[in-house]
Amino acid sequence: MSSTRHILFEVLGLPPIKKNHRGFSTDASVLKELSKTHELPALVLHYRELAKIKSTYIDALPPLRKGDQRIHTQFNETVTTTGRLSSSDPNLQNIPVRTDFGRQIRQCFVPLAPGELFLSADYSQIELRVLAHLSGDEHLIDAFCSGVDFHAATAARVFGLPVEEVTPELRRRAKAVNFGIVYGQQAYGLSQSLEISFAEAREMIERYFEAYPVVRAYLDQTVAAAADKGYAETMFGRKRHIPELKSPNASQRGFGERTAMNHPMQGTAADIIKLAMIEVERRLEEQDFGAALMLQVHDELDFSVKQEKVEELAAMVKEVMESVVELQVPLIVDVSWGDTWADAH
């Protein structure tokens, strides 16, 4: 038995939650649950986070600098099944951003030359906006076109409240359901992410579909069409074949159904940012913006730009990304800049 298992389950006598082939599990979900009753599991989780950041980034990235003292990644066009670009050797699309310590890693990423700034342009809720467009649900479209905070608007509709009465907790729940729907999340997954009961999670999903009935019909039709044709398509006709839909295994079929729901949204978002990248690069070559596109991280484009050109570049990139396709709802791009990648968010 590992020292962690020994201390948690034998010395402290905490209740084991699940087993794996090595014995009682101490994975993140178990430690998170145990941390409700004792402080040590939370400390173990924090230690693991720091240890992973140290080995993955602090120790690994500096030796990868080339002769120009820069790190160069490889972007792959045909690796992901969704159509998104992936990054490898090293992967610069998984540099942490959610934790304070992780953000310190992003502070190490600086513009290409002294006197330049790091500019980030990020699509806001693009997959949900694509869902509104593809489904044609008038209530979802209205929520995006009204100018009201989208997650608050969803909470208001799902919980039957005026928007001004939506609490931060209700907004958090609505946000989890919004993004869960995009990824085909079921009640169990939602209950885990929100730390609520399975029954509460199931009721929330049912209330969501009552609030946005056309979304449910669209997702059902999407799965049925994919099962019939053997593939799902993006808005631009790019196909993803899903053989799992024909599997006799219920778990595999469930994966296929979630994939069929998700591909039109995530795949279309991938198509849109590629179209935007092409047009942005054309503008950069056509006109002197004093800038270079350095990174693409899913829904985000990152640039190095001369200080005196930053507002000009920001306006151009925002205009291109927001107008590269026409949807029934507006595409919104958040643009910010600073001395480092961390400062640009």
What is the tens place of the pLDDT at every residue in 185-215? 777 788 877 777 888 888 888 888 888 899 9
Q: CB count, 10 Å around CB of 14?
A: 19
Token pair belonging to 150: 């989208």
Report how far residue 306's alpha carbon sits from residue 291's, in angstroms, rounded to the nearest whole number. Answer: 6
Give pLDDT < 70 ranges for the chain.
1-2, 21
- Helix ranges (H only) for 212-345 are 213-229, 250-286, 310-323
What are 164-188's pLDDT values in tens digits?
A: 888 998 898 888 888 887 777 777 7
Overall pTM surpassing 0.85 (yes/no): yes
* The listed CATH number (3.40.50.980, 1.20.120.330, 3.40.640.10, 1.10.150.20) that belongs to domain 127-270: 1.10.150.20
User: What is the Cα gyration radius of the chain?
Assistant: 23
For tokens 């199931």, name the residue.
Answer: 202
* 35-43 long-range contacts, CB within 8 A, separation 24+: 38/12, 38/14, 40/7, 40/8, 40/12, 41/8, 41/14
Report how far residue 159's alpha carbon sits from residue 170's, in angstroms, rounded to the nearest whole number. Answer: 8
Overall CATH class of domain 1-60: mainly alpha
Q: Domain coordinates of the chain in residue numbers?
A: 1-60, 127-270
- Nearest by Cα to 322 from 281, 286, 273: 273
Q: Which residues contact 123 (CB under 8 A, 6 or more apart)?
A: 269, 272, 273, 299, 300, 321, 331, 332, 333
Q: Which residues of 143-154 are buried (b: 16+ CB within 10 A; e: fewer)?
A: bbeeeeebbbbb
Question: Across 67-130, where does the E strand assignment appear?
Answer: 74-76, 86-88, 116-123
